Structure 1
Amino acid sequence: MNKFIPQKAAGTRSVDEITGSRRLRRMRKAAWSRRLVQENHLTVDDLIWPVFLVEGANIREPIAAMPGVFRLSIDVAVREVEHAAKLGIPAIATFPNVDLSLRDVTGSQILNPDNLTNRATRAIKQAVPEIGIITDSALDPFTSHGHDGILRDGIIVNDETVDQVAAGAVLQAAAGADIIAPSDMMDGRIGAIRSALDANGFQDVAIMSYATKFDSAFYGPYRDAIGTAGLLQGDKKTYYISAANCAEALREAEQDIVEGADMIMVKPGLPYLDIIRQLKDTFALPTFAYQVSGEYSMIRAASANGWIDGERAMMESLLAFKRSGADGILTYFAPAVAEMLKG
């Protein structure tokens, strides 16, 4: 019985002739071999957990725009941070939702040694001394207009804001903050904060600069969480970086490094992986990504609707930050990821 044997067309080459002995799929065939050659790894040491604070006692208030995230009173925050420390999460970053009656056009409440941020820092540091505490000295949680600086005649004034941000940073350090992370994007703030910290005996308090914070559509749920969503007058284009600009982001980072930043951050994260890579390759400084509220909420919403596998998308997005060069990630997923990594 004749058997049909396919013949190669004249002039064509077999797969073996094209690839030689190379078969990239060989190392993908089994779970053990895929693990053996995995290039990037996510560990609990990569995680920083942002925590929202609110006045009161025994409060765990859901944030509608961020399913699974809550505003916590200080007593509840202490318990949650204790759990985070047991999971191995190395640091948290706190963000207050300040009562409207305490907000004004200058954000003066940041100068109160007993404001919500500082009281939370003292309580957490006393109960969980082994975890790092990162505080933001920007003014937006404290202003009546929702901007990151002092508003005068419709303009965010740079130098007066810097003076107040630096003074607030000193109070945060005095309360026990380990890292000051100013997100206001005022020119000269890093140098002013470094000088103020050093002059007041806080030479060992580090600065994580929001070196490249972009004017982004991904901040909406965060503004709801800290209570500025309905307050913001205008936009923040005059002090945040345009989403179109790469070279400007590099110049911003360089300026902050020269002024004394110990670490730099890119915010938002996933839409700016190219910036993370460029900063890491250019400056070789510890570089962090902030997976912001909009990124978090998109994954949660798509998962809730059954459109994506939420856990896989969560882990894939965090691995993308590591692949791009990030040394760590601020993410609202931190406790869930830490639980998965332990399990």
Structure 2
Amino acid sequence: MKKIMFLLFSLLLLVLTVSCGGESKGGAEGTPEAKPGKKKVLGIVMPNATHGFLGESIKHAEAEAKALAESQGFEYKFLTSSEASEQNNQMDTLINEKVDAIVLWPHNGDELRSTAQAAMDAGIPLIVYDRLINNFTPTATIMGDNTGIGEMTGNYLNKYFEEDLKAGEVLVLEFLGDNSTVPQQRHDGFMATADKNIKIVQSFNTNWQRQKAQEQMENFLNTSKPEDIEKIKAVITQDDEVEMGILDAINAYKGSAKINIKLVTGVSARKENLDTFEKEKLDQVTYAFSPAMVREAVQLGADVLNGKTLEKEYIIKTVEVDRNNVNDFRNSDIYKIRYSIQ
């Protein structure tokens, strides 16, 4: 009987010991605590800040990612690069780390196609921003209305040079951004609407650089025959910084030719350009293309993490800005949000 009572007492003591062991933080002496759930990870891959627009875009993308991560409880990895090969390596890293979604702003879509496809094959949703990847379908694409910008530019020139076109050709110079899909879309849009008598005499690739555009314009002015210079009526550019380079070159020109350029176009509608509208003799028109638009791409990445189904394509519309509406534009949300980060 004593043995039986001793065994019962021992069993009771064991039960009480196990029951009171809940405060232990794990190990052989207690029950392990449940580990918190792993946070989802959003990868954001962008070119680095080679010029002002990208610098602003990086600030807006990081600000949006930080705000969304804090409010929605996910993590993010923000990566920038100077060239496509480095960007490919970054994409490979994110794929190997099995992040939950990627927002990609490609340097050049064709050079990123392989790793973009690898991400999709690995089951990682991919949102491509700004520059298309030809012959590839990501989860979603989001971009400014590049084709629309070109079309609106063509229509603007048609109206601006209406009387000149009645008399014959209007000759223009074209300053492209780079060899990505963005300049091609803008060029194609322009060619689709511009009057057939608006002729592009020469095109230049600026790599989006103000200094390079200035040097190219100076070279044209200093090496062309005066009669060829005097025939140019307008300069079409695809970026406000590039436009400023053109204005720098025109204002510095001391040659014998008479400058008959009446209009210079740009894209971005940034403060530095708008401030020159009243100061410059030449007329200007620019198209709103805000660095803050990248916030919408980051938001789509967060939406994917939250299980939302995305549309295949998102186009962010533009606004035409010239001397007639520049003051109203400064009061618009597009302008205010852009400059909410200094």
Higher CA-based Rg: 2
- Normalising by structure 2, what TM-score? 0.29
- Normalising by structure 1, what TM-score? 0.28
